[in-house]
Amino acid sequence: MKIAFFDSGIGGLSVLHHAMGMLPREEFIFFADEENVPYGTKSREEILQFVDEAFKFLIGQKVSAIVVACNTATSVAVKKMREKYSLPIIGMEPALKVALDLYPERKVLVAATAITITGEKIFELIERLDAKNFVELKALPRLVEFAERQEFNSAEVENYLRGELADYDFEKFSSLVLGCTHFNYFKDTLRKILPSQVKILDGNAGTVNELIRRTKLKSARAKEFSSVKFFYSKKLVTDAAELARLEKYLKRLDDMEALT
Ligand code: DGL
């Protein structure tokens, strides 16, 4: 089956990476909207337009399902895209339910973009889970910039995170939920900063499981490789140096996946 993964940039590779490990026989298209990244600092109207354009292109590629591997785009546009198209559209949801189920002792910090943490969708989720008193929300916009330039564990990244997280009393928290797909590249630095009882959770497994459920695909752990075509906005990536750069992200994700 031909399945598209869509993100503002290279964050969505973390969801694709997880899917490649579970669905080795499928044909994937990865669409990074590199012309418009970051989304998290733009207006909702602009983001909706970018997503609309990307969807038109992906529908033209005759995909059978679209994974919106971007929390920000999900927050702004997934409802509208579902009204417009009938194919399965799978969005991202911060792994708040998993966090509350697995680690209910203390609070959850959800880190995401400013658009995600001020959007209706996150407040609906918190309400649905009756979790208002157990959740705090934090925007970490610079992680998107760092990820886009492959700056994963420099002193600048560490200083930024230490500065942004300095005001939290982490004794009161049992998990950090990554509510932005770009944040998956920083699990090692976060692990270094956070006390060990604070578990780091992402939404990748939940999203891929939902994809499998909606498409009725059979997951497998065969020694086959899923085929992937990469697009930057609507341009197919063919340049060897650029493909090597994407490989480097996927390699980084191999290392980050095991960290919790
Ligand atoms: N990767 C996106 C997310 O999951 C957003 C990053 C951005 O473009 O600001 O929210």
Q: Which residue type is seen at 19? A: A
3-state helix, strand, coil in the chain (%, to 5): 50, 20, 30
Of 15, 121, 137, 182, best ligand 1 pocket probe by most atoms within 8 Å of the beta carbon: 182
Instruction: Tell me the C-alpha distance between 260 and 18, whole Å.
Output: 15
Decide which of 3.30.450.20, 3.40.50.1860, 3.40.50.2000, 3.30.930.10 is the CATH code for 96-202: 3.40.50.1860
This prediction has a pTM of 0.96
Residues having CB within 6 Å of any atom of ligand 1: 7-9, 11, 37-40, 70-72, 113, 116, 144, 180-182
Residue 219 pLDDT: 82
Active-site residue, 70 included = yes
User: Residue 223: is its pLDDT beyond 70?
Assistant: no
Q: Which of 22, 20, 23, 91 is nearest to 55 (CA)?
A: 91
Residue 48 Cα, ligand 1 centroid: separation in angstroms?
13
What are the boundaries of each domain within the chain? 2-92+204-256, 96-202
Residue 183 Cα, ligand 1 centroid: separation in angstroms?
9
Residue 134 Cα, ligand 1 centroid: separation in angstroms?
24
CA distances, 185 to each of 70, 107, 137, 180, 250 (Å): 14, 23, 19, 11, 10
Asked if 151 and 157 touch (Cβ cutoff 8 Å), the reply is yes
Residue 259 pLDDT: 84
Q: Mean pLDDT across the stretch 12-19?
A: 96
Q: What are phi and psi of 108, to 5 degrees?
A: -115, 130
Q: Which alpha helices (DSSP H) does the chain contain, by range?
A: 13-22, 44-60, 71-84, 96-102, 114-118, 120-128, 142-148, 155-165, 187-193, 204-215, 240-257
User: Residue 128: is its pLDDT beyond 60?
Assistant: yes
Active-site residue, 172 included = no
% of the chain residues with pLDDT over 70: 98
Q: Mean pLDDT across the stretch 224-233?
A: 87
Class of domain 2-92+204-256: alpha beta
Shared fold status for 2-92+204-256 and 96-202? yes
Instruction: Tell me the C-alpha distance between 123 and 209, whole Å.
Output: 23
Residue 218 pLDDT: 85
Q: Which residue has the higher pLDDT, 257 or 209?
A: 209
For residue range 153-211, what is the model confidence (pLDDT) as tens digits?
999 999 999 999 999 999 999 999 999 999 999 999 999 999 999 999 999 999 999 99
* Local confidence band at 220 (pLDDT 50, 70, 90 cut-offs): confident
Q: Interior CA angle at 208 toward 254 and 35, to 5°? A: 75
For residue range 71-103, what is the model confidence (pLDDT) as tens digits?
999 999 999 999 999 999 999 999 999 999 999
